[in-house]
């Protein structure tokens, strides 16, 4: 007698094999997808770096402020940020969004919750990258700041290859505005540097108590330590300007911020 079709056991075996293959391959596919996003993120960082350096060349080798008070077309006060300053050079606000966290820090909403308005910029609301506050100084922005630090210049950055500009991260709220590394790409974070190159930086996810924080927009985010040596004022961000001690060993500083200038010993230029 000729048998038609499959038995129940045969079908279950096939389903089990498919399930096993899926369990093996799905993580591989997820890693491959994240690798592609990491590449796009690094490309974003490169474009932003070139935009910043074009700005610096146009403005007497001075870096833009991180943010300062300005006015809109109706002469109403608004906050002008680094992203506004470089927008004519990058031409696309999507570049400031990390592909692994397309709704990153809600910068526009965060300022609105603080009673401030962000200056108009087409299609601009979320940012995935945070800047090095030692390179992009605070401008005049009452009531947060009633005086501006002088802008950083290229001449003040002794080791541009080692000094970060922007990186995968998020921002805490005022008045500290702490920056936090976000190693979104399989524990890697995109970053760019003053010489214009972009690369990934290793991050190490914190565990246990104190492993999360609240971003300025109210989201709870995981915290990462920087997983490499560098000129950083703390191990949760890529702050700092690369310098050297008298004996040649690396240190970090913020030339225009005396209170933060000697976190790692007596840096040259302070």
Give the separation between CA 148 and CA 172, rounded to whole angstroms.
21
What pLDDT, on a 0 to 100 scale, did the predictor assign at position 236?
86
Where are the domains positioned within the chain?
41-260
Give the separation between CA 231 and CA 31, rounded to whole angstroms.
30
Q: List, for residues 180-237, the tens digit of each pLDDT value.
A: 999 999 999 999 999 999 999 999 999 988 899 999 999 999 999 998 877 676 788 8
Residues with Cβ within 8 Å of 45's Cβ and at least 6 positions away in sequence, in order, are 129, 166, 167, 190, 191, 192, 198
Q: Are 22 and 170 in contact (CB under 8 A)?
A: no
Closest CA to 107 of 63, 29, 199, 172: 172
CB-hemisphere CA count at 13 Å for 36?
5
Roughly how many angstroms between the first and final C-alpha of the chain, as a whole number?
Answer: 94
Per-residue pLDDT, averaged over 71-84, amounts to 92
What pLDDT, on a 0 to 100 scale, did the predictor assign at position 233?
64
Residues with Cβ within 8 Å of 218's Cβ and at least 6 positions away in sequence, in order, are none
Distances (CA, A) of 260 to 79, 90, 270: 25, 31, 10
pTM: 0.83
Q: List, for residues 124-162, the tens digit of each pLDDT value.
A: 999 999 999 889 988 887 766 667 678 999 998 988 998
Q: How many CB atoms lie within 10 A of CB 42?
A: 18
Q: Where are the alpha helices (DSSP H) in the chain?
A: 8-58, 82-90, 107-113
Helix (H) or strand (E) holding 79: strand 77-81
Give the separation between CA 103 and CA 90, rounded to whole angstroms.
20
Give the separation between CA 270 and CA 266, rounded to whole angstroms.
7
Q: What is the DSSP code (8-state) at residue 141?
A: B
Per-residue pLDDT, averaged over 25-31, amounts to 64
Quick one: pLDDT band at residue 77, thresholds 50, 70, 90?
very high
Helices 8-58 and 82-90: angle between axes, nearest 10 degrees: 100
């Amino acid at each position: 007698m000729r048998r038609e079709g499959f038995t129940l056991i045969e079908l279950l075996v096939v389903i089990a094999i498919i399930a096993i293959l899926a369990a093996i391959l799905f993580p591989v596919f997820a890693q491959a997808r994240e690798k592609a996003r990491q590449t796009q993120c690094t490309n974003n960082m490169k474009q932003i770096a070139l935009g910043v350096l074009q700005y610096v060349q146009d403005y007497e080798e001075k870096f833009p402020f991180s943010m300062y008070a300005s006015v809109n077309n109706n002469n109403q006060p608004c906050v002008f940020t680094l992203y506004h300053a470089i927008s004519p050079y990058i031409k696309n606000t999507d570049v400031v969004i990390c592909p692994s966290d397309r709704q990153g820090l809600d910068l526009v909403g965060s300022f609105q919750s603080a009673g401030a308005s962000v200056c108009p910029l087409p299609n601009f609301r979320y940012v995935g990258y945070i800047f090095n506050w030692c390179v992009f100084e605070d401008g005049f922005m009452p009531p947060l700041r009633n005086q501006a630090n002088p802008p950083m210049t290229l001449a003040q950055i002794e080791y541009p290859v080692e000094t970060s500009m922007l990186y995968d991260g998020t921002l805490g709220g005022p008045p500290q505005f702490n920056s936090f590394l976000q190693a979104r790409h399989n524990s890697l974070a995109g970053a760019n540097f003053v010489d214009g190159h972009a690369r990934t930086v290793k991050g190490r996810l914190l565990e246990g108590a104190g492993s999360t924080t609240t971003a300025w927009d109210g989201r709870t985010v995981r915290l990462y330590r920087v997983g490499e040596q560098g000129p950083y004022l703390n191990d949760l961000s890529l702050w700092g300007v690369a310098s050297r001690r008298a004996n040649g060993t690396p240190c970090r500083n913020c030339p225009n911020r005396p209170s933060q200038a000697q976190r790692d010993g007596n840096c040259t230029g302070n």
